């Protein structure tokens, strides 16, 4: 039930994000699309794969990368070789494959090798690099993605903005706010994941200025953060702000949050949600009418 | 063919009676004037006239700015007295001495330049004013049809009596008058000196330069159009190309400005582009010019040049088109479309005063007369003045901006480098100026600190730096200046995908000589990223330049990386071919040492 509702929010936000973000055609980052590496059943021959990777032969390298992908976690020992190949460079298609393979292995040591490619002139290479860093993580990844927020490439900006929150890069908050104010909508999610009470309040100042469905992608992150990460007072403050807004879409959103609120989570916050829903109403919008028509 | 001049006594009588003109007293026939069978007399007759008039004087005139507006004229003397005239004006009015002459409502009329009071008015016979002159006693005017033809020459005494009224067959230009002798240009080469009391041609000037104007310039008489010949004792030599000629220095100025409009044409009361693109200067005799200055206007900018050396001395930007101007003692007076009259110090270009006509004007005529522009110290350096004009966002100004940019580029001040960098880093700079600024930057050999400062910038979406600095031109200049401090910033730019491939190529080329071991890390990254992915000629050239730099500063590691890439089948084939021909600098020097040369063999 909750899962379905989360998808519903994401589906509602994605088109608005596209409208909000200059340059359009920026896909909403779907972190869940990349599955963590899984253990391979077959034995992984490190030396053989290494030989293939260093062969200088495009086909051999491609085969090696396929083997690594299939091997999953068992291919970890090949990471240094993979990094070494990345550091020496290759053709654009092979670079994309190398970067994606390194991404699958999720080894932080690969971030330093991948980072320079975020600034490659070939967009397929730099976009693959930005996405890969979200999986290889580490300080090098954070540094490169923070720089990616300043990129000319809207996809790199969006990827960096959406990913820095997942990486827990609190030091990137000022840049994320700047990016959000430059219409990089993906920054909302990261801000929602990272902000402290004051920073979250600062984000709330954008309510009414930024399309509401963009704001909710950040608000959702804030409201559903564990109490240890963002306390009840801060959450009640957010609810109060939305209540003050009093728009149908705010009412609808509050009702949606109230419905998804875990039963064993804060009763105070739930009470504030219910009171706000009561005050604002469940906010039936014209979009809902269309949805209902569609259902019929 | 004898001249076909026509006595207009009948016409004048008709006009006087029918149009209730003031003080019409009669007219005389022309006698011998405009005779096309005239033989060159070697300047004798015009010299004789000059001698006769040597002691005659014409007024220097009232300093006045006169604007045409819908429904009349607005004026201000340069000393600040304003007046208005209400009535139709169908052609550009003419200032001469102390009168304003104009046509409108089928009338030819004269106004007092100081007060705007009407002095006299006669029928224009349906024609419009081409030009006029006044010597304090008589006013001479030439009129014609709007589309050419139908020349009419009229001389009116101050009281309003018509002394001469004729229709010469040739197209006559703008006349002048001194001591009762009217000087009438015609046929682009002659000036007939006509006794206004008898209508007889007393002398004729044959000029070797185009002549459509006889002008009273500050109390002295001149003839010409693109050059002016002074009416002085040397006038007789004009027939053989001599005489005292005032010629402005030749320039390749934007819009090809002219000093005077053709004098035999009726100019519209509304200014057109040629009125906005003008040369303004006042000859002072012996071929020299007032204050040794000439001004050129181009829409919203006035530029001051040395009249003898042609050097640009100042540039003044105003907020609306300059429609007219005059050179005065000490400076210039420019009249703008908004009705502002700006007084400018001729030496410095500094503003020395402003006057206002009270409303926007359709066209504007200015006469300096005996007015003196007060002097004022320069407000800014020439480089700063040019920078201001060049930075103005006005597509119409681009030709002037490009001209001034060239002038700016030839100056060595460090501040010029900054102006050029700003132009080449601004998204609003028009493309032509942007390219010019980049070319000039590449050629600069001063202002290294500004260049290094510029290289510190890079494309930054969050900081709204949406155009990278002109890395390529800066690299060219800094390499030519052997500026080692540039190596770091240039190496850093190699890996900025927002820089153009051309900029990258030039940065890499500069690094061939400027890079040190400190830049090896940036060089390595660039080499790794592009040795196999380079897809255009500029990046290929950049990779090869970077390889050379790596061989020079990268020691064994650099050599190994280049050698490995030279063998790697995945390296771009053009890059690979170039790399295979590269050797470490030390190896290249070996052949110069005879002993080792033998050994290497």
Tens digits of residue pLDDT in A203-232: 999 988 899 989 999 999 999 999 889 999
Taking contacts as CB-CB distances below 8 angstroms, the residues of chain A near B497 are 119-121, 126, 152-153
Joined together, the tokens standing for residue A8 give: 């519903």
- What pLDDT score was predicted for residue B8? 42
- Mean pLDDT (chain A) is 86
Q: How far is residue A221's CA from residue B330's CA, in Å, rounded to a whole number?
A: 74
Mean pLDDT of B378-393: 89
Q: Does A23 reach chain B within 8 Å, measured CB to CB? A: no
Q: How confident is the model at residue B6 (pLDDT cuts 50, 70, 90)?
A: very low
Q: How far is residue A277's CA from residue A255's CA, in Å, rounded to a whole number?
A: 6
- What pLDDT score was predicted for residue A142? 98
- What pLDDT score was predicted for residue B15? 40
Taking contacts as CB-CB distances below 8 angstroms, the residues of chain B near A126 are 497
Q: Tokens 């009229």 map to which residue?
A: B154
Sequence-separated (6 or more) residues with CB below 8 Å from residue B23: B120, B159, B160, B161
Pairing between strand B181-186 and B99-104?
Answer: unpaired
Residue A23 has pLDDT above 50, yes or no: no
Residue A98 C-alpha, separation from nearest chain B C-alpha, in angstroms: 13
Query: Could A94 and B570 be called an inter-chain contact, meaning their C-beta atoms sit closer than 8 Å?
Result: yes
Joined together, the tokens standing for residue B554 give: 């990268």
Nearest chain B residue to A178 by CA distance is: B462
| Spatial contact of A99 and A68, defined as CB atoms under 8 Å apart | no
User: What is the torsional sign of CA A282, A287, A289, A294?
Assistant: negative
Residue B175: what are its φ and ψ, rounded to 5°? Answer: -90, 165
What's the angle, vertex CA B109, arms to CA B108 and CA B110, rounded to 5? 145
- What pLDDT score was predicted for residue A208? 82
Query: Could A119 and B570 be called an inter-chain contact, meaning their C-beta atoms sit closer than 8 Å?
Result: no
Q: How confident is the model at residue A58 (pLDDT cuts 50, 70, 90)?
A: very high
- Going by the DSSP 8-state scheme, the letter that residue A229 receives in this structure is T
| CA nearest neighbour of B92 among B141, B20, B137 | B141
What's the angle, vertex CA A106, arms to CA A105 and CA A112, rounded to 5? 110
Q: How confident is the model at residue B251 (pLDDT cuts 50, 70, 90)?
A: confident
Mean pLDDT of B83-92: 97
Pairing between strand B99-104 and B94-96?
Answer: antiparallel
Sequence-separated (6 or more) residues with CB below 8 Å from residue A255: A277, A282, A283
- What pLDDT score was predicted for residue A1? 33
For residue B461, give the nearest of A87, A92, A151 by CB distance. Answer: A151
Q: How confident is the model at residue A15 (pLDDT cuts 50, 70, 90)?
A: low
Q: Look at phi and psi of residue B597 and say left if phi exceeds 0, alpha if psi is from -120 to 50, else beta.
A: alpha
CA dihedral B4, B5, B8, B9 (to 10 degrees): -110
Taking contacts as CB-CB distances below 8 angstroms, the residues of chain B near A91 are 532-533, 570
Residue A103: what are its φ and ψ, rounded to 5°? Answer: -60, -40
- What pLDDT score was predicted for residue A281? 83
Q: Which of B533, B565, B571 to mutate to test the interface with A (most CBs of A within 10 A)?
A: B533
How many C-beta neighbours within 10 Å does residue B45 have? Answer: 19
Nearest chain A residue to B572 by CA distance is: A91
- Mean pLDDT (chain B) is 91
Taking contacts as CB-CB distances below 8 angstroms, the residues of chain B near A174 are none
Mean pLDDT of B500-525: 98
Residue A283 has pLDDT above 90, yes or no: no
Mean pLDDT of B6-30: 42
Taking contacts as CB-CB distances below 8 angstroms, the residues of chain B near A179 are 461-462
Query: Could A89 and B527 be called an inter-chain contact, meaning their C-beta atoms sit closer than 8 Å?
Result: yes
Taking contacts as CB-CB distances below 8 angstroms, the residues of chain A near B565 are 88
Q: How confident is the model at residue B427 (pLDDT cuts 50, 70, 90)?
A: confident
**Interval A268-282: pLDDT, tens:** 999 999 999 999 887
Q: Does B467 reach chain A within 8 Å, measured CB to CB? A: no
- What pLDDT score was predicted for residue B595? 42
3-state SS string for B4-41: CCCECHHHHHHHHHHCCCCCCCCCCCCECCCCCCCCCC
Q: Does A157 reach chain B within 8 Å, measured CB to CB? A: yes
Q: How far is residue B248's CA from residue B289's CA, in Å, rounded to a whole number?
A: 9
Exposed/middle/buried for B253, CB within 10 Å: 0-12, 13-18, 19+? middle
Q: Which of B495, B498, B526, B529 to mutate to test the interface with A (most CBs of A within 10 A)?
A: B529
Query: Could A121 and B532 be called an inter-chain contact, meaning their C-beta atoms sit closer than 8 Å?
Result: no
Q: Which of A53, A83, A89 to mutate to test the interface with B (most CBs of B within 10 A)?
A: A89
Query: Could B525 and A117 be called an inter-chain contact, meaning their C-beta atoms sit closer than 8 Å?
Result: no
Q: How confident is the model at residue B349 (pLDDT cuts 50, 70, 90)?
A: very high
Write the DSSP assignment of B170-239 as a string of letters.
Answer: SPB-B-EEETTEEEEEETTTEEEEEETTT-BEEEEEE-SS---EEEEETTEEEEESSSEEE-STTGGGGG
**Interval B148-178: pLDDT, tens:** 999 999 999 999 999 999 999 999 999 999 9
Q: Between B240 and B593, name the one with better pLDDT.
A: B240
Residue B22 has pLDDT above 60, yes or no: no
Residue B592 has pLDDT above 50, yes or no: no
For residue B462, give the nearest of A88, A122, A179 by CB distance. Answer: A179
Mean pLDDT of B484-513: 98
- The predicted model scores a pTM of 0.77
Q: How far is residue B90's CA from residue B146's CA, in Å, rounded to a whole number?
A: 9
- What pLDDT score was predicted for residue B340? 98
Q: Does B497 reach chain A within 8 Å, measured CB to CB? A: yes
Residue A236 has pLDDT above 90, yes or no: yes
Bridge partner residues of B322 (DSSP): B336
Q: Does A119 reach chain B within 8 Å, measured CB to CB? A: yes
Q: How confident is the model at residue B415 (pLDDT cuts 50, 70, 90)?
A: confident
Residue A190 C-alpha, separation from nearest chain B C-alpha, in angstroms: 16
For residue A116, give the nearest of B498, B529, B533 by CB distance. Answer: B529
Mean pLDDT of A62-90: 96
Nearest chain A residue to B528 by CA distance is: A89
- What pLDDT score was predicted for residue B586? 66
Instruction: Give the strands of the sheet with B293-298, arranged side by side.
Output: B279-280, B293-298, B301-306, B312-317
């Amino acid at each position: 039930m909750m899962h379905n509702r989360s998808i519903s929010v994401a589906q509602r936000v994605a088109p608005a994000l596209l409208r909000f973000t200059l340059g359009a055609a920026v896909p909403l980052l779907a972190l869940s699309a990349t599955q963590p590496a899984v253990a391979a059943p077959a034995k992984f021959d490190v030396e053989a794969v290494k030989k293939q990777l260093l062969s200088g032969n495009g086909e051999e390298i491609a085969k090696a990368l396929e083997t690594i992908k299939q091997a999953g976690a068992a291919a970890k020992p090949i990471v240094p070789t993979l990094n070494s190949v990345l550091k020496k460079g290759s053709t654009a298609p092979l670079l994309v494959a190398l970067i994606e393979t390194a991404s699958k292995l999720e080894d932080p040591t690969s971030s330093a090798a991948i980072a320079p490619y975020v600034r490659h002139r070939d967009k397929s290479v730099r976009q693959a690099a930005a996405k890969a860093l979200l999986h290889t993580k580490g300080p090098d990844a954070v540094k490169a993605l923070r720089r990616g927020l300043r990129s000319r490439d809207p996809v790199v900006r969006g990827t960096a903005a959406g990913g820095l929150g997942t990486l827990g890069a609190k030091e990137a908050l000022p840049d994320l706010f700047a990016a959000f104010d430059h219409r990089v909508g993906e920054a909302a999610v990261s801000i929602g994941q990272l902000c402290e009470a004051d920073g979250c309040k600062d984000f709330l100042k954008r309510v009414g200025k930024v399309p509401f469905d963009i704001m909710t992608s950040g608000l959702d992150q804030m409201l559903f953060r564990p109490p240890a990460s963002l306390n009840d007072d801060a959450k009640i403050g957010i609810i109060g702000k939305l209540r003050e807004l009093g728009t149908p879409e705010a009412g609808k959103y509050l009702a949606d949050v109230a419905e998804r609120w875990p039963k064993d989570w804060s009763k105070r916050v739930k009470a504030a949600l219910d009171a706000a829903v009561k005050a604002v109403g469940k906010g039936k919008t014209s979009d809902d009418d269309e949805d209902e028509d569609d259902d019929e | 063919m004898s001249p076909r001049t026509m006595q207009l006594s009948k016409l004048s009588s008709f006009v006087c009676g029918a149009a209730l003109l003031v003080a019409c007293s009669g007219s005389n026939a022309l006698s011998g004037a405009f005779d096309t069978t005239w033989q060159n007399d070697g300047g004798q007759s015009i010299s004789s006239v000059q001698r006769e008039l040597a002691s005659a004087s014409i007024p220097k005139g009232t300093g006045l700015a006169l604007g045409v507006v819908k429904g009349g004229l607005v004026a201000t003397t340069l000393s600040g007295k304003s007046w208005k005239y209400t009535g139709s004006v169908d052609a550009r009015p003419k200032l001469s001495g102390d009168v304003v002459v104009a046509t409108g409502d089928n009338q030819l009329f004269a106004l007092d330049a100081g007060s705007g009071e009407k002095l006299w008015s006669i029928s224009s016979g349906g024609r419009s004013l081409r030009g006029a002159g006044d010597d304090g006693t008589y006013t001479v005017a030439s009129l014609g049809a709007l589309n050419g033809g139908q020349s009419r020459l009229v001389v009116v005494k101050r009281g309003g009596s018509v002394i001469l009224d004729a229709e010469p067959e040739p197209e006559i230009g703008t006349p002048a008058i001194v001591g009762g002798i009217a000087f009438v240009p015609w046929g682009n080469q002659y000036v007939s000196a006509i006794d206004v009391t008898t209508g007889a041609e007393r002398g004729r000037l044959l000029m070797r330069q185009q002549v459509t104007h006889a002008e009273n310039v500050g109390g002295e008489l001149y003839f010409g159009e693109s050059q002016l010949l002074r009416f002085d004792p040397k006038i007789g030599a004009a027939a053989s190309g001599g005489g005292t000629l005032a010629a402005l220095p030749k320039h390749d100025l934007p819009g090809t400005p002219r000093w005077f409009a053709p004098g035999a044409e009726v100019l519209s009361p509304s200014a057109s582009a040629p009125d906005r693109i003008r040369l303004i200067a006042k000859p002072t005799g012996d071929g020299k010019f007032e204050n040794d200055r000439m001004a050129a206007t181009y829409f919203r900018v006035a530029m001051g040049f040395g009249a003898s050396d042609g050097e640009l001395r100042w540039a003044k930007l105003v907020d609306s088109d300059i429609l007219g101007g005059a050179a005065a003692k000490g400076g210039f007076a420019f009249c703008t479309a908004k009705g502002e009259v700006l007084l400018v110090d001729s030496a410095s270009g500094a503003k020395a005063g402003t006057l206002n006509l009270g409303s926007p004007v359709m066209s504007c005529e200015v006469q300096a007369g005996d007015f003196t522009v007060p002097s004022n110290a320069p407000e800014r350096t020439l480089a700063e003045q040019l920078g201001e004009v060049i930075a103005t966002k006005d597509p119409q100004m681009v030709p002037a901006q490009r001209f001034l940019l060239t002038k700016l580029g030839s100056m060595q001040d460090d501040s010029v480098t900054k102006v050029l960098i700003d132009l080449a880093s601004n998204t609003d700079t028009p493309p032509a100026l942007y390219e010019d600024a980049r070319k000039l930057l590449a050629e600069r050999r001063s202002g290294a600190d500004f260049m290094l400062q510029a290289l510190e910038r890079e494309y930054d979406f969050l900081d709204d730096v949406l155009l990278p600095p002109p890395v390529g031109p800066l690299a060219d200049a800094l390499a030519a200046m052997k500026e080692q401090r540039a190596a770091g910033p240039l190496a850093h730019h190699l890996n900025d995908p927002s820089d153009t491939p051309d900029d990258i190529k030039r940065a890499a080329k500069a690094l061939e000589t400027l890079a040190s071991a400190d830049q090896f890390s940036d060089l390595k990254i660039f080499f790794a990223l592009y040795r196999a992915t380079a897809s255009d000629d500029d990046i290929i050239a950049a990779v090869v330049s970077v390889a050379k730099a790596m061989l020079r500063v990268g020691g064994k590691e650099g050599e190994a990386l280049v050698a490995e890439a030279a063998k790697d089948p995945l390296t771009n084939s053009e890059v690979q071919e170039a790399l295979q021909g590269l050797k470490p600098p030390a190896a290249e020097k070996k052949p110069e040492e005879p002993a080792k040369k033998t050994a290497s063999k």
